[in-house]
Structure 1
Amino acid sequence: MRYLKDRITAIVYILICTIIAGVIFYLRGVEPAIVIYVFVLWIAVGIVFVILDFISKRKRIKVLKNIAMTPFFKDNMLPKEGNSVEKEYQTLVNNTIAEAREKFSESDSRITEANEFYTMWVHQIKTPISAMKVLIDSGAERDMLSAELFKIEKYADMALSFIRVGSETSDYVIKQCNLEKVVKDTVKTYAPLFIQKNLSVSMKNLDIYVLTDEKWLGFALEQVISNAVKYSRNGSVEIYSENGILTVEDHGTGIAREDMPRIFERGFTGANGRSGRWSTGIGLYLCKRVLTELGHYIWIESKENVGTKVHIDLNSTELKVE
């Protein structure tokens, strides 16, 4: 019955044509026997056509039902198109499937990335927590406990930033910002670590305005300054700008030449990271990702046992200004 309903237009058309032909035959005085013969032949051919078309349609519907019950759609599963309309529908379906696969792949990639990060993050944050327990049991001084608590706080901030950077609605607010203020606020945050490692900080030529997001630029600087303090042995960390390029320079352990091509990869810690405990391999990855979103460019120069220079070009931004 469903098939007949789908073909009702064609059936009505055939009946109308039959009636018109009968009227024409009658008016032309064709013998009734010939008229009956033609009508019977016509109806027989029509019935055969309907039966064959019904069988073909039933097979195609069966294929489509099987596809609907298949968990994963594969290429070339759809039956061969029967006409131009079906061809257009199949093109539409295939395009929709391609878009869905792309979205699924992106979502799966983000989930995998998040799982890897949080697995690593949990292992890393356990280190300062364990250190604090030992320090509390041994009656350690407040400064030592504060240093470990600071690490935990920075790990928590990094996790929140990881979520925000991965969001499609990151809250970037682009406007003219005073670079000196951003740098000083960041250095102030890491003041306890500078004091703990007996490091001085030098800041020059920073009183300029740059087009950026103050909060996210501060986050990127935190990762850079954190590494500068972490891997410095003694002396000072120098922060200065020239022609709109901000440079953070330390005189620490430097980066191995073989590690340089991979320093911005997610989860890569390098020789320095593997030798220490406080390294997630995520800081520079997030730093580059944030700066790229802001339209800034970052690159690094480094020599082992000499030091590292991190350069950030703040001259341009591709984001919309407030």
Structure 2
Amino acid sequence: MGLKLFLQEHISYIIFQVLLVLFVLLLYWLDGFRNFETAVYSIVISTILIISFLAVRYMLRRRYLSKIMQLPVTMEDALQKNAKTMEYMQTEKYMHQLYYVYQNEVQALYAKQKRQYKFMNQWIHQMKTPIAVLELLLQEEAPLDKKSVQEEVERLKRGLDMVLMSARLDSFEDDMQVEQVPLKAIVTTVINEHKRLFITNRVFPEVHIDEEFTIASDSKSLQFALSQFITNAVKYTFEPNKKIVICARQKEGSITLSIKDEGIGIPRSDLSRVTKAFFTGENGRKTGESTGMGLYLANEICDKLGHQLVITSEVGVGTTVYITFSSERNGG
């Protein structure tokens, strides 16, 4: 089979050589040369040369041709090195690199699927809690406690927003719409959406943002990211009557938004890992409600939008989140 493939590949060599010999003989014939024995001798010598050339060429390519004639069973079968010519060696090098690219893509896809599977399992487990609470409230004979129902519904809504954003992240670049948006209006919208959470935890927001500050960002995605930072700030402020201060400062063409709480703070050992997927840390174990995906998704959003995210914290003092919107298009 390898020889057949070789001959099919080199049939053009043979045809060219035959035509070349016939052309040379024709020139001699037209020039008056009529020696038949010399013509036969030329044909024989040319045939020997082309056969010798093809034979040597086939010997150099035999192992490589035999390999490609057998369909591989595993990907590793394609990584065997049998080529002896520069052309086929380069082909093998190309195939090896293609294999490594393929492996990296498969591993990335596997990691993504594993992350999604783990997240969905945790999310479904956590969504059972508000559903169970709602069922208990409905079973009670006393009048329905609308406040409790609203709290559980908001927990469900936050959970749904998170899973939808997680699904959207894979096609984020296609969905996002970067435009000039007023920073204070976005922050105010997020605070109003979580007004009941502030009241329940008796934590009070303070907003110090210039009305004229505008930033280049995707409004919907940024609101989700800010929601994660603000809800975390509220959830991990266990003492009542504390404040969350949200400020914005402009410097050298960029605007930095800071969200500072007076909560329990993040241990130094956890600080560098809080934006990793599924990392709940010491504080997450205290509440038992953390999926470890909120800050991960918020960090991914900031990265894709080109916003710089920095988190600082001190245990017992509080945590501050800084988001820097670096763009020449920022207004204010």
2:301 to 283, 290, 295: 290
Partner residue in 1 for 2:12: 9
Alpha-carbon distance, 1:210 to partner = 2.4
Q: Is the 8 A contact 1:178 1:209 kept in 2?
A: yes
1:191 to 189, 195, 213: 195
User: Could you say what secondary structure the match of 2:126 adopts?
Assistant: helix
- In the alignment, structure 1 residue 147 sits paired with structure 2 residue 151: yes
Pick which of 221-230 and 118-127 moved more: 118-127
Q: Is the 8 A contact 2:258 2:323 kept in 1?
A: yes
Q: Name the aligned partner's letter for residue 237 of structure 1.
A: I
Distance 1:4 1:227, change over 3 A: closer
- In the alignment, structure 1 residue 215 sits paired with structure 2 residue 215: no
Q: Name the aligned partner's letter for residue 183 of structure 1.
A: V
- In the alignment, structure 1 residue 79 sits paired with structure 2 residue 85: no
Alpha-carbon distance, 1:35 to partner = 7.3
Alpha-carbon separation, structure 1, partners of 2:287 and 2:153: 18
Alpha-carbon separation, structure 2, partners of 1:124 and 1:171: 28
Partner residue in 1 for 2:240: 234
What whole-Å deviation, never above 9, does each CA across 1:8-34 have from its counterpart, x for those lacking one?
A: 333234434555469969x778794x8
User: Could you say what secondary structure the match of 1:70 adopts?
Assistant: coil
2:125 to 110, 113, 123: 123
Q: Name the aligned partner's letter for residue 130 of structure 1.
A: A
Partner residue in 2 for 1:269: 280
Calculate the TM-score normalised by the size of structure 2: 0.80
Partner residue in 1 for 2:266: 255
Q: Name the aligned partner's letter for residue 213 of structure 1.
A: D
Alpha-carbon separation, structure 1, partners of 2:90 and 2:67: 18
Q: Is the 8 A contact 1:174 1:319 kept in 2?
A: no
What whole-Å deviation, never above 9, does each CA across 1:294-316 have from its counterpart, x for those lacking one?
A: 222222222222222222223x1
Partner residue in 1 for 2:65: 61
Calculate the TM-score normalised by the size of structure 1: 0.82
2:230 to 222, 225, 228: 225
Alpha-carbon distance, 1:202 to partner = 1.9
Q: Is the 8 A contact 1:295 1:318 kept in 2?
A: no
Segments of 5+ residues of structure 2 without an aligned counterpart are none
User: Could you say what secondary structure the match of 1:255 adopts?
Assistant: coil
Alpha-carbon separation, structure 1, partners of 2:313 and 2:18: 88
Q: Name the aligned partner's letter for residue 288 of structure 2.
A: R
Q: Name the aligned partner's letter for residue 234 of structure 1.
A: P
Alpha-carbon separation, structure 2, partners of 1:168 and 1:287: 13
Q: What is the CA RMSD across the aligned residues, in angstroms? A: 3.5
What whole-Å deviation, never above 9, does each CA across 1:191-218 have from its counterpart, x for those lacking one?
A: 1111222222222234232222222221
Aligned residues: 317
Q: Is the 8 A contact 1:234 1:251 kept in 2?
A: no
Distance 1:273 1:207, change over 3 A: same
Alpha-carbon distance, 1:69 to partner = 2.9
User: Could you say what secondary structure the match of 1:217 adopts?
Assistant: helix
User: Could you say what secondary structure the match of 2:275 adopts?
Assistant: coil
Alpha-carbon distance, 1:186 to partner = 0.5
- In the alignment, structure 1 residue 308 sits paired with structure 2 residue 319: yes
Alpha-carbon separation, structure 1, partners of 2:306 and 2:104: 25
Distance 1:24 1:154, change over 3 A: same
Distance 1:249 1:61, change over 3 A: same
What whole-Å deviation, never above 9, does each CA across 1:166-200 have from its counterpart, x for those lacking one?
A: 22534222222222211111111111111222222
Segments of 5+ residues of structure 1 without an aligned counterpart are none
What whole-Å deviation, never above 9, does each CA across 1:106-164 have from its counterpart, x for those lacking one?
A: 32332222222222222222222223223333456121121112111111100111111
Alpha-carbon separation, structure 2, partners of 1:263 and 1:192: 26
Identity score, percent: 24
User: Could you say what secondary structure the match of 2:228 adopts?
Assistant: helix
